[in-house]
Amino acid sequence: MSRTPAQAIVDMTDLDRETALARLFDLHYPNLLRLAVLLGADDAEDVVAEAFYQLYRRWSRLRTPEAAAGYLRSVVCNQVRMRLRHLLVVRKHAEGVIGTAESAEHLALLRDDQRVLVEALHQLSARQREALVLRYWLSLREHEIAGAMGITPGAVKAHTARGIARLKRIMEVRR
């Protein structure tokens, strides 16, 4: 079966997209997974998978291929935020209080000092936690963080400063 030149161009574009997505997955999946965990996602793998799916669907709308990593970070942040909000609503309307326990795998993967830091991070507000994780774990600049969180660079500075101050207080109490 012969292809028209237009079909060949479409197939080539799809192939380029598939190749680019595979490379992005290899490069960014572990970091995005850690980001989702640090932001409080209990289903981090699903969050990251959703981010790659969203990127796949919107590939043609990217300004440049270099914008893909930032887009993925934004989707992960937004997905975690949405899921945490949903959990708050579900828990608020739940009739009985059900205790949650971390999986044995999850606890085994974190060393004691990491566990203490992650517990302290979970005591921060969602915005403070996001700003700190994006800044100090991913080493992003303020404008990149602002883009990922959908806020201004000034708000990033405020959330970061308040988050660091609160984290220091929490960690001092634990000593």
What pLDDT, on the 0 to 100 scale, is given for residue 106? 63
Q: Are 108 and 91 in contact (CB under 8 A)?
A: no
pTM of the model: 0.58
Is the per-residue pLDDT at 7 higher than 70? no
Each residue of 126-172: pLDDT tens digit? 899 999 988 888 888 999 899 888 899 999 999 999 999 998 898 88
Is the per-residue pLDDT at 42 higher than 80? yes
Average pLDDT rounded to a whole number, residues 116-134: 88
Give domain 101-175's CATH architecture.
Answer: Orthogonal Bundle (1.10)
pLDDT > 70 in the chain, percent: 78
What pLDDT, on the 0 to 100 scale, is given for residue 11? 40
1-100 against 101-175: fold identical? no
The CATH class of the 1-100 domain is mainly alpha
What pLDDT, on the 0 to 100 scale, is given for residue 4? 45
Average pLDDT rounded to a whole number, residues 58-75: 90
When pLDDT is cut at 50, 70 and 90, the band that residue 52 belongs to is very high
Note the maximum CA span of the chain.
Answer: 72
Domain residue ranges of the chain, discontinuous segments joined by +: 1-100, 101-175
> Using alpha carbons only, how large is the chain's radius of gyration in Å?
19
174/162 Cα distance (integer angstroms): 19
